[in-house]
Structure formats: C-alpha cells, structure tokens
Structure 1
Amino acid sequence: MRRRRSPRVALTRIGIGALGILAIAAIWELYKAFGPADGVVIGDSRILPRTSDLAMPHIVDMVSRLFEPVTRADGSPPLWLEVSGAAAVTLGIAAVGWVVGLIVGVALALVMVRSRLAESSLLPWIVLSQTVPLIAFAPVVRSWGSKIEIGAFEWQDWMSVAVIASYLAFFPVAIGALRGLQSPDAIHTELMRSYAAGWWATLVKLRFPASVPYLLPALRLAAANAVVGAIVAEVSTGLRGGIGRMIVQYAGQASGDPAKSWGPIFGAIVLGLVAAGSVALIGGTLGNYRRAEVNS
C-alpha cells in the first residue's frame, strides 16, 4: 500500500513555494534599485527592462493598487473585485475546455492502445497539432463557429474560446493516458488473459489503475494549458468579460496607471493556481481508486 503524505511534507512544499514568491519579489526590487535606468541592452535588443516606475512599479504599489477603486468614478469597485469577476469568467470557460480536452484525450488514448496501427497513424498528427499558432488559429475557430446553426442552437463567442482551451488541453492528456495505459508489464496482462478477462475488464482492472501516476501530471498540465489557451483566445477573438481582454485593456492604460495593469496579470497567476489546485483535489480521488483497484 502507498503511504499517505504527512502534513509536514505538505507544509514544507507550501513553505518552499512561499519562499520562491518572496525570492522573485526580492529580485524584482533589487534590480529596480540597482539596475541601469535604461535596462540591459545588448546590441539593438533590450534583454532586461527599464527600472522606471512606468516599466517596473514597486511590488507594494502593485499590491496596494488591488484594493483601490478601478476608476475615480463614484461607486467604482475595487480592482481586486473587478479582476476576480473576470478571472471567474475565464476559469469557467477554461473548465469547459479542460473537460472537453480530457474526453478527447482519453478517447484518443483508448483508440491508440486498442490498435497499434491507430497509434502509428494518430500520434504524429497529435504532436503536430501543437505547432499551430493560437494567435492565427483562434479567429478561424470563431469564424467557423459563427456559421454553425442547428435548429434553435446558436454558437456563442465563448464556445470558440473553450474550443481553443480544449485544443491545448487534450494533448498532454492523450500522451499521458497513452503512456499510462501501456505501462502494465506483460506478465500482468498475461495474468489477466489467464483469468479469461476481456479487453474491457483488463482496461478497468489493470490499465486504468496503472495509468493514474501518468494521468495526474497530464491533468495538471492540461489545466494550465486550458487557462493559457482561454486567455490567449480571449485576446485573439476579442471576447469581453474575461481576464485576457482585461490584460489588453489595462495594458493600454499603463502609461497613466502602471500599477493597475499588473492587477489582471496577478489574476491570471492566481487563476492558474486555482486550476492546478482543483485538479489536485481530483487527483486524491484517483489515487484512492488506484489503491482500491491494486489491492483488490
């Protein structure tokens, strides 16, 4: 049986993560304090940014700006509340894309495990699919989607964003599930055959439990990819209400309020952490499934 991780291990990991954040903040402030005003330039390329308040606001200014109103208008909500609402919209779309990517990825893995010919035919195309630039692909998906009409069903713009999110999410799931389903040793598959177990029984009792260690990292990577895909697609398609559009909108206001433009960037970071944390909760359930199947 697998040993459960102690609370001390979890606290250690949290502490290391917190120290990493503090280290990044310290490096930021040290470079701002001692770095060249015009940044680090090599030839005609600037590899490190300028240290002015416009290019690099202080960490404390960026954090305090989150609790100030978005605009000077009366009744304007605080920036963190506006960012949270936009992040929730993007998270919902990314979740839809993640679920679709999970279904497509596992289905492709099952087809490839079932047939060696299918694996040799599909796997190169699955890998090649990730070379398509999203900036060019997202408007095409939106254009195609806008032409879909099935009865009373009407394609919504957010669906195009979800499709792009699923496009990035399915790849790690397909590869991770394929490697996991193929991971059982030949002696184990032969044992299942000696019990007269069919392909489906072998899949449920042997291959799926064995694939959990490969599938969990793939699901986490798929969640991160879905968030990135949703944000990029929002920028490319111009979908309003999400964190991607907010990043572009606030970046245009950076000259007058540089700290404000970092608000949605922080929101995107938290969004990725929430997505990964949600998958970690699902991972606990899959871990129990693996132990139950292995020990049965």
Structure 2
Amino acid sequence: MKIVQLASCALLAAGITASVDAANVDAGKSKAMACGACHGENGVSVSPTIPNLAGQKIDYVIKQLKAFKSGGRKDLMMNAIATQLSDADIDDLAAFWNSLPGAAGTAKSSVPDNIVKTRVNFPENYQKDFTYYYTIDFADRKQVRKYYANPAAVKAARAGKPLPQGSAFFVEVFGAKLDDSKNLVKAGDGALAPDKLMFYTAMETQSGWGNDFPDLLRNGDWNYAVFTLDKKARPGVNQGECLACHKPLDKDSYIFTLNQLQAKAK
C-alpha cells in the first residue's frame, strides 16, 4: 500500500512539475498587464480589499482562476476576465505571479497611469443636449441613478444599430432618501425617493480611446469617468473596474441599459 501511495505522489508531483515547466514566465508577464489595474503591476494590489498575487503559490492561482472561469467562484469582474483565458494562459500567469517576491502586508501599488487616464470631459449642457431615458434604484448602496444618452447614442438605438464612435452616457447619482429610522423612503410609484445629488459618472467612445488598455480589459474605445459636484474628474479612478464590469457586454455595445435606451428611443 505504501509503495502504491508513494508512486501516486510521485506521479502527481511529476504532473505539477511538467505544468510549471511548460508555463512561460515572460508570457505570463505580458498577459498580466490587464491584472495590474487591480492587483498591481508587480503583484502588489492597489487596494486593501484586493489580494496581492506576488509570490503566490502556483497551484493556488491556477485553482482560483479556473474556478472563476467555470463560474464555480463568483465575482463579476474576475469572471469576466477569467473566461477569456486559456489553460495555457492560466499556467503562464500563475508562473509569473509566483516568480515575484512577496510583499509586506501593508504594501500597496498605484493604479497604472494608462488605467487612470480618462479622456471623458464633463458634458456641460447634458440636461439640454442629452436624453433622459431610465432610472435604477440601488437599494444596497442607498443610491438612485438617472441615466442620460447623447444624440449619437439615441439615434443608433432608435435604428437598432451598434452604438457608434461619439456615443456618450451620463449618470446623475443621488443618495436615496431615508426616514428618521434610516429606512429607505419610497415614492408613490414604489421606487426609491432620491435625496441629494452625490456625484456623476460618465462613459464615452471616440476613435482610438481604447488603444492604451490591455485587450483583456478593453471595451472597444470606451473610456469611463467619475465627476464631483463641481464638475471635476475625480482623481485616481480605476477604470479597470469599469472595463472589467462592462467587458461581457460586447454584443450590447458594452452598455448595461441598451434595451431601456432602445425602448425610450422608439
């Protein structure tokens, strides 16, 4: 029995070694460019809520990426990224992360400059030039969001065509109204009652705007932005989170509310 067990362990170890040897650290480094938006270019993450990958064990990384790819482990952004990876890609990434020196628990990376940089400007006349088309309640965030689209997006939606370059969307983000007991207040139609305007978000596509993003993240040529109440772009916004979230929507021009826009545009 012991001989059989030892033989089985030897075969397993040989299989793991073969997988590691077949992996290409340099290829993994190239593929990891997209991961750097959240996990850091050197495997040290940009946020305390995101794990470091530098020095992580190969088998663990492979197991987690395959779980994200299959849907066995749920995370909107990671599922969107992992479904684009082949088994060879996963092996290469695991080898690359493992090759890096581990980081101290308090270490933190900056979001890469190409991921932070946005070309979207605040649309000064959006209330006049854009079309309001939908409102979404986010009860878990205690928010109410009102959605607007510019003429180029509305025209394409009306015709049932993909959204062209020059399309832009703008969102007013309100805090949801709370009663004295901090419970959400609903309006007469059952929707959440909006309270004070908190900030704005926007997305726009223009030719070449997506060139600086890795293919694993790129949403065509869309860029994203968050604006403060004084109409200034919020610094340090990680577009990687927006890009990963919208990535699976390529057939809908990367827009979550395309159906609602089409219904309004008719």
Query: What TM-score does the superposition give when structure 2 sets the normalisation length?
Result: 0.22
Whichever structure has more helix as a proportion of its residues is 1
**Structure ranking higher on relative contact order (CA contacts 8 Å, 6+ apart):** 1
Larger Rg, first or second structure (1 or 2)? 1
Whichever structure has more strand as a proportion of its residues is 2
